[in-house]
A and B are shown apart, each in its own frame.
Chain A
Amino acid sequence: MSALVRETVRLAGGREQAVLRGGRGPVLVWLHGLGGVTPDDPAALALAERWSVVAPVAPGFDRDEDAADLRGVHDLALRADDLFEALGLEGALVAGHSFGAMLAAELAAHAPRRVARLLLVSPLGWWRDDEPAADFFAVPPGSDASPYRRTPPEAVERARRAVARVLWPLPDKGLRRRLYRVRARSVVLSGDRDPFVPASYARDLAAGLGGAPCVVEAGAGHDLPYERPDAVAAALDALRAA
């Protein structure tokens, strides 16, 4: 598969946002995780084998100033709504990983008509006091658990800032209270070796989405789309067929 192609989309309000595109087939919006997305991202390229992938670069991952006025998760969700408006997307198939899965769920809760089908892979956004997840903001640099192993070194700090701006110090920003608004047919996919998203979080989230199917992959970690691309492909097929 050839690399994704980068383009700049103009949003209402005078802002711009980068989007990577590639592949063939029905349109799939892919919202990247903590480490960001590049034109040769293996997870996005695997999806592009069977889908026309539209992969926005989340605000701040490219340039800090794009995120300077994001003061919380509502601003972030509205920015995603602005992008969908600019791209003419309604009733879309949206899949997200980690931070991107949280963003996908927030978009579906804030602007339900944008999302008809929703795949949440290793989704952040949840918290349980009885099972506190590991702190993805305090992973030793270079460790096996680092979500930045695939991120170009010069982009790591920018990626961390972009997420921390909205998610610090832990990622429960009230998604639970808004889930009732989501109308999309949803699937949650998660790994049982994920330190940042325990399986119970994935199950809770699926339950909150009206009893959506929840698939917990044995042996998979937080980077599930890179570790188990077939599981993501299978979940998308199931979602499309449903």
Chain B
Amino acid sequence: MKFSWFHLMPYPDLPEDFRDRHRSVWVDAPARALYDPARGVRLYRDYLDELEHADAVGFDGVCVNEHHASAYGLMPSPNLMAAALARGTTRAKLVVLGDSVALYDPPVRVAEELAMLDVLSGGRVVAGFPVGLPMDAAFAMGVNPVTLREKHREGVELVLRAWSAREPFAFNGRFTQLRYVNPWPRPLQDPRPPVWIPGGSSPETWDYCAANDFLYANLSYSGFRAAKSALDGYWAAVERAGKARNPYRAAFLQLFGVAESDAAAEKLYKDAVLYSYRSGLHVPPEFALPPGYLTDAGARRAAAAVAPTATMSWEELKAGGHAVVGSPDTVVAAIEELAATLGVGHLLALLHFGTLSKEATFANTELFAREVMPRVRGLFKDHEDAWWPKEPGR
């Protein structure tokens, strides 16, 4: 099993009455009223320190991601953060999870910047291509949700062709027309960085990943117990595509809080977990479900599933496996259950969440690396990982 350290970079200082006064943490939570730029300086410094620390203590990868107009994640440009990490880390792979290609016009920009990162980092880049959450893509960035998926697919096709083409070429797409596609530099990895597709429970995404040998990363926040149906769906798609069921075709994001005992862990992490869910996922249905983002059936399922997550109790969050918080034994047991039920070889560990301080995050990271990782690292050791950079790094 491989372990990547995933940072959301949330804004931790939303007021107590935030949920009562604002309908959403995304899109229209007013930055001028709620965000303190001086605080932002300290947050970026601490958050990059935490990612660099993960590299130092032995995580296989560090993850950055893209969100817009949101106190949920202060990373509108994952590539900027990855550029800082390309210099601040030496060994961990840079899992950019990812660049929302439909939000870049033209998407060749993604081919260029990821290639720059790959060169800067000595070939350590994983190229993630999310469709983009509706709050980010449709509302904050104005992309038409009805054609967003089509635009995403076309953009991914363009990026991959830009990396693999032997000659400059013309691209006559519906969303992008370019007479000349010929990005410099090329990525160091040959033929290209591994491609990861973050997604939820859409069968089209599972088939798309399986058919193209892209890794499917489930970033649901709905708890690893509820994620089984999504991973089952994905593995069925892999089988339909006639591909081998290799655990390294899949990744799963999980929140962890580790301490010497279960009781100590609860004391340390409970408030930060609750902030993360209550404020970080405070999104009304009108922003979560714009027209055409999901199929009619998908929209009904999502409408039923989205709202409760933000109001779940501590006990519910623990029982559903949303938050795995406890002693190393407790956490190891949960990872073994997760590995057995989901069959994923890549674990994306969320070890900073909500209001957690830098000191507490370092401690959580160190305990996880020292007391948890060695005991579960051997899981899936007999499988080849073709979804991971092969270059040794800078």
**What residues of chain A have their CB less than 8 Å away from a CB belonging to chain B?**
71, 137-141, 154, 157-158, 160-161, 163-165, 168-169
Contact = CB atoms under 8 A, between A and B. Distances in A.
Contacts of B147: 165
A138 B291 CA distance: 9
Contact of B291 (A71, A137, A154): A137
B174 to A, nearest CB: 8
Contacts of B285: 140-141
B138 A168 contact: yes
- Chain B binding site: helix, strand, loop or mixed by DSSP? loop
B286 A165 contact: no
B320 interface: no
A164 B286 contact: no
Given A139-B286, A140-B285, A140-B286, A161 B138 contact: no
B142 A160 contact: no
Q: How large is the interface on B (under 10, 10 to 19, 20 to 34, 35 or more residues)?
A: 10 to 19
Interface of B: 138-139, 142, 144-147, 174, 284-287, 290-292, 296, 299, 303
A138 B296 contact: no
Contacts of B290: 137-138, 164
Which has the most chain A C-beta neighbours within 10 Å: B142, B286, B287? B286
A160 to B, nearest CB: 3
B63 to A, nearest CB: 30
A138 B286 contact: yes
B291 A163 contact: yes
Given A139-B286, A163-B291, 10 more contacts: A137-B286, A138-B139, A141-B286, A160-B292, A164-B144, A164-B145, A164-B291, A165-B147, A168-B138, A168-B144
9 contacts: A137-B290, A140-B284, A140-B286, A160-B292, A164-B145, A165-B146, A168-B142, A168-B146, A169-B142
Contacts of A158: 296
A65 to B, nearest CB: 13
Contacts of B138: 168-169
